[in-house]
Structure 1
């Protein structure tokens, strides 16, 4: 459905280090860049994710109520994502990594805030 997702950051280098660690735990290669607009990109065959300063020159801020989910291979990858993200300057939020049962079945989840406050998660669908 999506071709790419971009989030704003005020400290691009801190964000690059955070996402290299957290996404690296999910098997995603380190960022390429910066591009001519100063953004870093993480690319997979299924889509791309970028971090950069807002093009309008205003400070970056996180979306209240927004979450970006990254696919994980298994529960171990979900936990590794959270551990790597915390070690690289992120903040753990919500429950510890693990299964949540809801209307979409059982999902293994871990939630973080990146250094700019963006809410992200790693998700593995069980079964």
Structure 2
């Protein structure tokens, strides 16, 4: 549904290591560095981009914001969460689990503090 998401980072290399790890659990069509020297990840027409803030101010996480990713299996959700923890992220909200509605969910904060969610609908689609 989105065309692109851009998150600010305090340190591009630290953020890229984190995002390379979690995106390894998702099918991507392309990843690389764009003409503005920003790491990006593309699936179809959707792009996820990491950048230093253009205004020169410090990068901060969105208060109340969450970026959600749909993954292909519950196993991928758990692996995504572990990859994030192992690469500078921290667990957010609750441990990965399957909710009563059948949705397997995991929440992370990236090294800058942006909140991310991975999910897979296990039943009741």
TM-score by length of 2: 0.90
Q: Is the 8 A contact 1:24 1:30 kept in 2?
A: no
**In the alignment, which residue of structure 1 is the partner of 2:9?**
9
Aligned partner of residue 96 in structure 1, secondary structure: coil
Q: Which residue of the partner structure matches residue 115 of structure 1?
A: 111
Would you tell me which structure has more strand in proportion to its own residues? 1
CA contact (8 A) 1:110 1:121 kept: yes
Partner of 1:84: 83
Task: Report the equivalent of 1:55.
Answer: 54
Unaligned runs of 5+ in 1: none
1:71 aligns with 2:67: no
- In the TM superposition, residue 95 of structure 1 has moved relative to its aligned partner by 1.7
Q: CA RMSD in A?
A: 1.5
- Tell me the equivalent position of 2:31: 31
TM-score, L = length of structure 1: 0.89
Contact 1:43 1:49 (8 Å CA) reproduced: yes
Structure 2 Cα separation of the partners of residues 121 and 46 of structure 1: 20
DSSP-derived class of the 1:32 partner: strand
Deviations 1:73-118 (Å, cap 9, x if unpaired)? Answer: 11100000000011111001122112123xxx32110000000000
Unaligned runs of 5+ residues in structure 2 are none
